[in-house]
Amino acid sequence: MKQFTILLFVLMGVLTSCSSDNSEMDEMSMIEDEKIYQGNFISVAHPTSGIASTNKEKTMLEFKNFKTDDGPKLDVYLSKESNPDNYINLGELKGIEGDFTHDLPENVNLSEYKFVVIWCVEFSVSFGHAELK
């Protein structure tokens, strides 16, 4: 009977640890799914400031308290590097001051495309960028 009781306690411990590991893994994947990427803009060729962040669903890129100089044609790039060679063009910058949103492509890998770059198309220069972390 004593061996049965010990075996029962061991089995309960294994079952408890398995179920808690699974729930911890589920919680970790939920946290990763709800992670918001965010970064502060830093100036490159022109004074640029503000915050870039994603929503929980990773469908929108939001600019808060954004400010930069005006340029002839400024686009928003989602790039693999701060000086864009590999990038996704999110379209024309919606303004040089304020709060704006840009749509993100479906299933974009933000661990690869982690730089938001304000790019002057006419002069091929970065006004500034934010690294999404």
Indicate the domain borders of the chain. 1-34, 38-131
Q: What is the pLDDT of residue 1?
A: 54
* Pairwise CA distance, residues 86 & 83, whole Å: 9
Q: What is the pLDDT of residues 55-76, one digit of tens each?
A: 999 999 999 999 999 999 999 9
| pLDDT of 17 over the 90 cut | no
User: Topology of domain 38-131, per CATH?
Assistant: Immunoglobulin-like (2.60.40)
Give percent of the chain with pLDDT exceeding 90.
71
Q: What is the pLDDT of residue 12?
A: 47
Q: What is the pLDDT of residues 86-118, one digit of tens each?
A: 999 999 999 999 999 999 999 899 999 999 999
pTM of the model: 0.74
* Pairwise CA distance, residues 89 & 105, whole Å: 10
Q: What is the pLDDT of residue 109?
A: 92
The residue ranking higher by pLDDT, 20 or 113, is: 113
Buried b / exposed e over 47-72, threshold 16 CB at 10 Å, is ebebebbbeeebeebbbeebebeebe
Q: What is the pLDDT of residue 34?
A: 64
Average pLDDT for the chain: 83
Q: What is the pLDDT of residues 25-41, one digit of tens each?
A: 444 444 455 678 999 99
